[in-house]
Structure 1
Amino acid sequence: MNDKLTRFLFEDRAVRGEVVQLQGSYQSVLESYHYPKPIAQLLGELMAAASLLTATLKFKGEVSLQIQSEGAVKYAVINGTHDQRLRGVARWDEGLQELPTEFSSLFKKGVLAITLAPKDKERYQGVVALDKDSLAACLENYFLQSEQLLTKVYLATSLDSAPKAAGMLLQIVPPTSETYQGGDNKDFEHLAMFADTTKSNELLELNPEVLIHRLFNEEDIRLFETQDVLFECDCSKARSAQALQNVAKTELLTMIDEDGDIKMDCQFCHQQYVFDAVDIENIHNDNFDAFNSDGRIDERTLKH
């Protein structure tokens, strides 16, 4: 199964939809760590959700879905771009011998922050409590509270043999940005009734066009060109160098004297970048052309 996102529109009902199926990109994220099953499932749902959300963007930029909690799950984040490049990572309480299997039991004071980051424009962030029985229900609540949009979200994962994740979204298409879409809507309710019959295995296995036709066979639907979804980490030595600029030059050189070099690992893909004394001189002389920098800074873990 190729990683694909399929967008569709109900011609006569002002409702849009999306279906995403992930395998290779999901596997790439899981290869970063030995994730317990509940964490792996959570990451799959977050990846599918991030892909669905990025498909609704009307700008070039990124969407970040970030969970923070004081419970079994401490931190989880999936970043997605407008062109469907995904990456992610999670942290959990590794002192627990067994993790809860129910979604709501994974978190204590858990929140989901959704950050929209258009290129060259101000970021926008919405936060919703993780107080529902599923991530899908929390996302529906987010859209209703923050965007005033009626939305249905369906998410599924499978860790049998080759891991797979999938999702489907139905959402009102607002006629104007000022129009409130959170109230009753008979067209949306009609379509949601059929969407609610979707089974997880159908979402994971069926060709999206077949699934859409099976669910909504009496509707006039416009299908858009499918879009590839990929795992991609945009880390680089240049971006790691930008982070090192915030550390005093003397401190960096002392670390090199003691350890021979400085190693930095990307938390998303585990690519390691090594810096020597010459690199430190370039960094503190603002010579980032030596690293082919594009100026963006990513989160890194500094080892010394």
Structure 2
Amino acid sequence: MSSADQLQRFSFDGTNIRGEIAHLNDSYREVLARHQYPAVIARAVGELMAATALMSGSLKFAGRLTLQVRLTGSVSLLQAETNEQGQLRAIARYDEQLGDDELDFANGQLVITIEPEQGQRYQGITAIEGNHIGQALSDYFEQSEQLGSRFWLMCDGHSAAGFMLQKMPAAKEEDPDAWDRLTHLASTIKEEELLQLASEQLLHRLYHEEDVRVYPASALSFLCTCSQERIANALHQLGYEELQGIIAEQGNIAINCEFCQQLYRFEQHDVEQLFPERQQH
């Protein structure tokens, strides 16, 4: 039974194929505990978090990676974020009248944003084909990175998990049939296997006839990056007069973090401290 929130990397000896398995249990439930998402949204958020966890393995520097699914209709946005330490958060924006039908990803877009703490921001956008997030990620890597990739994402509303295979560039392929063989075997994964089996158990069940090299796993967890300081910096951008108008109307400024529901409150004296240049000496 898989219980640890972790990202497990592996590769196949004699091939240019690598893979990752992400298990999200507590980190996923931390997100659900802060929102009253209907089941269809909760499952979609879990799948997107699993996809983001798989992508976190590509962050080799301090920074943030964000996956956004932009849709038309009753669900406008699904978003999940991670940093290089595998710390995740997620959110959904949707019509409260949403039914329990399956989400329609038709005409949607997948937006991948990478924001290093030092360096240039990158953003890639791909259309969502095949009506699911995994196919959109595969398309993105094929088009933008020229890397053959396959993603399997699953969520039952309590746990989420993802499985990825990726074909890396190689001057010579020692085993030209490996990609078709390994992806075919991965396509046999059942939901309960991916969600419940420990990574090494799953790999043995799928690939007991292959030479699989398993690397040390890394932890995944929930973390919201909001803070009093970040909210204060955002308020400062609005300007002194704008903030004074809000306080005159409401008595104070209350900001609720969409991701974790933490409430931040700013009184008159807090606003004054945001603009030290206005204070008379």
Task: Answer whether TM exceeds 0.5 for this pair.
Answer: yes
The residue number in structure 1 matching 2:150 is 152
The residue number in structure 2 matching 1:230 is 221
The residue number in structure 2 matching 1:172 is 167
**How far off its partner does 1:146 sit?**
1.3
One-letter identity of the residue aligned with 1:61:
G
The residue number in structure 2 matching 1:134 is 132
The aligned runs of 1:70-149 (5 Å cut-off) are: 70-96=72-98, 98-101=99-102, 103=103, 105=104, 107=105, 109-149=107-147
**How far off its partner does 1:248 sit?**
2.7
Determine if contact 2:112/2:123 at 8 Å carries over to the other structure.
yes
Determine if contact 1:264/1:273 at 8 Å carries over to the other structure.
yes
Determine if contact 1:19/1:52 at 8 Å carries over to the other structure.
yes
The residue number in structure 1 matching 2:65 is 63
Q: How far apart in 2 are the matches of 1:67 and 1:286?
A: 41
**How far off its partner does 1:173 sit?**
2.0
**How far off its partner does 1:99 sit?**
4.0
SS of structure 1 residue aligned to 2:237: coil
Q: Percent identity?
A: 38
CA RMSD between the two structures: 2.1
The residue number in structure 1 matching 2:236 is 245
Change (3 A) 1:262 1:225: same
The residue number in structure 2 matching 1:204 is 195
1:123-142 CA distance string (max 9 Å, x none): 11111112213211121111
Q: How far apart in 2 are the matches of 1:62 and 1:248?
A: 27
Determine if contact 2:28/2:159 at 8 Å carries over to the other structure.
yes
The residue number in structure 2 matching 1:295 is none
One-letter identity of the residue aligned with 1:143:
F
TM-score, structure 1 as length reference: 0.85
Consecutive unaligned residues in structure 2, runs of 5 or more: none
Determine if contact 1:72/1:99 at 8 Å carries over to the other structure.
no
Change (3 A) 1:185 1:99: farther
1:79-123 CA distance string (max 9 Å, x none): 011110000100112234x2421x4x2x45311101122221111
**How far off its partner does 1:73 sit?**
1.3
Consecutive unaligned residues in structure 1, runs of 5 or more: 288-304
Q: How far apart in 2 are the matches of 1:132 and 1:286?
A: 55
TM-score, structure 2 as length reference: 0.92
* Higher relative contact order, structure no. (Cα contacts within 8 Å, ≥ 6 residues apart): 2
Q: How far apart in 2 are the matches of 1:158 and 1:121?
A: 38
Q: How far apart in 2 are the matches of 1:243 and 1:270?
A: 17
Determine if contact 1:20/1:166 at 8 Å carries over to the other structure.
yes
